[in-house]
Structure 1
Amino acid sequence: MSEAYPTLQLWERGPKIVAVGGGTGLSTMLRGLKKYTQNLTAIVTVADNGGGSGALRQDLRIPPPGDIRHCMEALANTEPIMERLLTYRFSEGVLAGQSFGNLILAALNGITGSFEEAVAEMSYVLAITGQVIPVTSADVQLEAVFANDARVVGESQIAAFKKEQDCRIHHVNLIPRSPAATPAALKAIGEADLILLGPGSLYTSIIPNLLVEGVAHAIAQSEAPKLYICNIMTQDGETEGYTAADHLEALLAHGEPGLVDLCLANTAPVRPGLLEKYREEDAVPLTVDRERIAALGLELVERPVASADGDFARHDPDRLAQAVLEIYRSRAVRIFRGARRYILEE
């Protein structure tokens, strides 16, 4: 560990952080957080039905491995060649478009007979920091219901269908409804010191986790601070026209009271070149409507957490991790002082 990061002892005793979501946003955040605590748990959606993950799901009847693989790559402590192997994507033949990391997970599933065990074994092989847990072992599909009552089934079909309907998503469902959560996911939530929702696609990466039996309730009942991390931009085919408060209202509508305590929003500007690129996709920087967030009874924290580099408007892993840890420490001190005051008054 460099001087910029905690000592080994502090890292080993770092807060138990549970991050719920999927996709690129979750894995980006994990890359930063793993430098500050080894007690990390990623709880990951398994509703994807597109790309290489969707093909393996259909052919082998296993949960889609893609989002889980991305999280393990982010948390892995391996040699560079292994990193390159995991991310290698075949370009020709029957494996065209398939990731080698996905194939390893599929093979481990065949060896162990359980997707949960396959994830655990691959985590061990990659010496990951913390743990990655699929939110459910059930074979689930995501259904989106739109404001005009139109419906579409399949996570990968939602964006294109939304553009055809030209209206907002009203809500999403899992098919079958309320599948059982993996016990390890509920256990991690129950033991968490801090629970993070996002960043990531609102309806296809974060909310599907809340529709698994017991997950939203476990989060709401937890005494840990619960932080929603806003995306940098709105998302084409999913959240066009949404503000930060719109995102929060959708989360609460799919969960229950107590699901979120705080909201972290970005203040760093997005580079002009990127803005033009995103405008072509009907995506813009997320508007932070402070009064509406306050009206929801939520605390807003604003920090410059966007990356200054790259071809996409994404969070900077280190900036985001530092902001998350700062919020956690602030809340921990506040809770400690409140408890101490209560004891003294008694």
Structure 2
Amino acid sequence: MTVVDKEAKVVVIGGGTGLSVLLKGLKNYTSHLTAVVTVSDDGGSSGRLRAEMGVLPPGDIRNCLVALAETETLMDKVFQHRFDHEGSLKGHNLGNLLLVAMTEIAGDFVSAIQEVSKVLKVRGRVLPATLEHVALGARMKDGMLIYGETSIRNYGGEIESLFLVPEKCLPVPDALEAIMEADIIVLGPGSLYSSIIPNLLVEGIGSALASSKARKVYVSNIMTEHGETDSFTAVDHLRVIMRHLPQSVVEYIIVNNGVIDEGILKRYRGEQAVPVLSNRPEIEAMGIKLIEADLVSDSDLAWHDSEKLARVIMNL
């Protein structure tokens, strides 16, 4: 593959599956790649480790490390192995356990990530947004306050705004430095409320985004998410992001206009999810540049194609 700009400094902010999908594509264009990842997850293996051992949730970090690994080796498969037999390990991911063990050996979470990065020959670096143990909170439009990412998702009400507990949590200094030195900063793709917004709530992240001279891009999800973004258009996603930042920073928004297979759409409709529409007039009225492209992968899921998305971003 031809490298467009080997020296481009790219920062991606988010979490979940969407972020790892993007990283798989971007690593083919630049080694100056930093992923700033949310640490508010309280579900699954990460949530159990967090509750039982008092560690930062390692799941999203692990996914990003594997996505940035230079080659698919046996170690990549080891880090993604999930135990499915009965017993205390059921549901746990081996990579999560290894990250927790390495944290105890290395003395801190960032050092553990660096050591694992060497093992996987990671292209770029992965940083947690904060090293503090934070929980996600939501003010719902019905007046309720809900605490915990999983509880918020399961509540079913419309979210007014999010906050972190504690609200004053310090960022990882290297994350701020990467944002300030970046050529381009990408928010998403990923769950709006549980993967992207929590990073923006960390003290100093929002102001660093506003001060950075980098181009700032938001990658809209291809599909809405039931319980989080029901009936949302791309404009609705943008407005939520703006409500959680000290000032408007997004300059570009990337939205899929590729055709999704009807069979796939039917399955998503059963999950009460529909394609995210762009609403070009409203986006342009906000002073944001809209980029539409066919970004759909060839898989049986309505996910972004890593290479297609990375190419659109690097062309900026």
For residue 127 of structure 1, report the CA deviation from its aligned partner: 1.0
Q: Does structure 1 residue 323 correspond to structure 2 residue 316?
A: no
State how 1:36-47 maps to structure 2 within 5 Å: 36-47=29-40
1:215 to 205, 225, 235: 205
2:2 to 1, 5, 8: 5
- Name the residue aligned to 2:130: 136
1:228 to 218, 225, 236: 218
If the length of structure 2 is used for normalisation, what is the TM-score?
Answer: 0.97
- Name the residue aligned to 1:256: 246
CA contact (8 A) 1:234 1:242 kept: yes
- Name the residue aligned to 2:281: 291
The total of aligned residue pairs comes to 315
Which stretches of structure 1, 4 residues or more, deviate above 2 A after TM superposition? 77-80
Q: Deviations over 1:80-122 (max 9, x none)?
A: 2112111110112211100010011000011112111111111
Q: Deviations over 1:155-198 (max 9, x none)?
A: 11222102xx3xx2111110000310000110110110100000
1:205 to 195, 214, 223: 195
Which amino acid is 1:107 matched to? Answer: A
2:90 to 93, 96, 103: 96
CA distance in 2, matches of 1:160, 1:136: 25
If the length of structure 1 is used for normalisation, what is the TM-score?
Answer: 0.89
Which one has more relative contact order, counting CA pairs under 8 Å at least 6 apart? 2
For residue 142 of structure 1, report the CA deviation from its aligned partner: 0.4
Structure 1 segments unaligned to the other structure (5+ residues) = 328-346
For residue 280 of structure 1, report the CA deviation from its aligned partner: 0.9
Q: Does structure 1 residue 18 correspond to structure 2 residue 11?
A: yes
Q: Does structure 1 residue 122 correspond to structure 2 residue 119?
A: no
Which amino acid is 1:289 matched to? Answer: N
CA contact (8 A) 2:130 2:170 kept: yes
Instruction: Report % sequence identity.
Output: 45
- Name the residue aligned to 2:58: 65
CA distance in 1, matches of 2:47, 2:248: 34
CA distance in 1, matches of 2:63, 2:21: 9
For residue 79 of structure 1, report the CA deviation from its aligned partner: 5.1
CA distance in 2, matches of 1:180, 1:129: 26
CA distance in 2, matches of 1:317, 1:210: 24
Q: Does structure 1 residue 108 correspond to structure 2 residue 98?
A: no
CA contact (8 A) 1:221 1:258 kept: no
CA distance in 1, matches of 2:131, 2:114: 13
Structure 2 segments unaligned to the other structure (5+ residues) = none
- Name the residue aligned to 2:303: 314
For residue 78 of structure 1, report the CA deviation from its aligned partner: 4.5
CA contact (8 A) 1:245 1:289 kept: yes
For residue 5 of structure 1, report the CA deviation from its aligned partner: 2.4
- Name the residue aligned to 1:333: none
CA distance in 2, matches of 1:239, 1:89: 29
Q: Does structure 1 residue 77 correspond to structure 2 residue 70?
A: yes
CA contact (8 A) 1:220 1:260 kept: no
Which amino acid is 1:117 matched to? Answer: S
Which amino acid is 1:211 matched to? Answer: L
State how 1:156-171 maps to structure 2 within 5 Å: 156-162=150-156, 165=157, 168-171=158-161
Match of 2:88, SS state, is helix
CA contact (8 A) 2:47 2:57 kept: yes
Match of 2:126, SS state, is strand
CA contact (8 A) 1:189 1:222 kept: yes
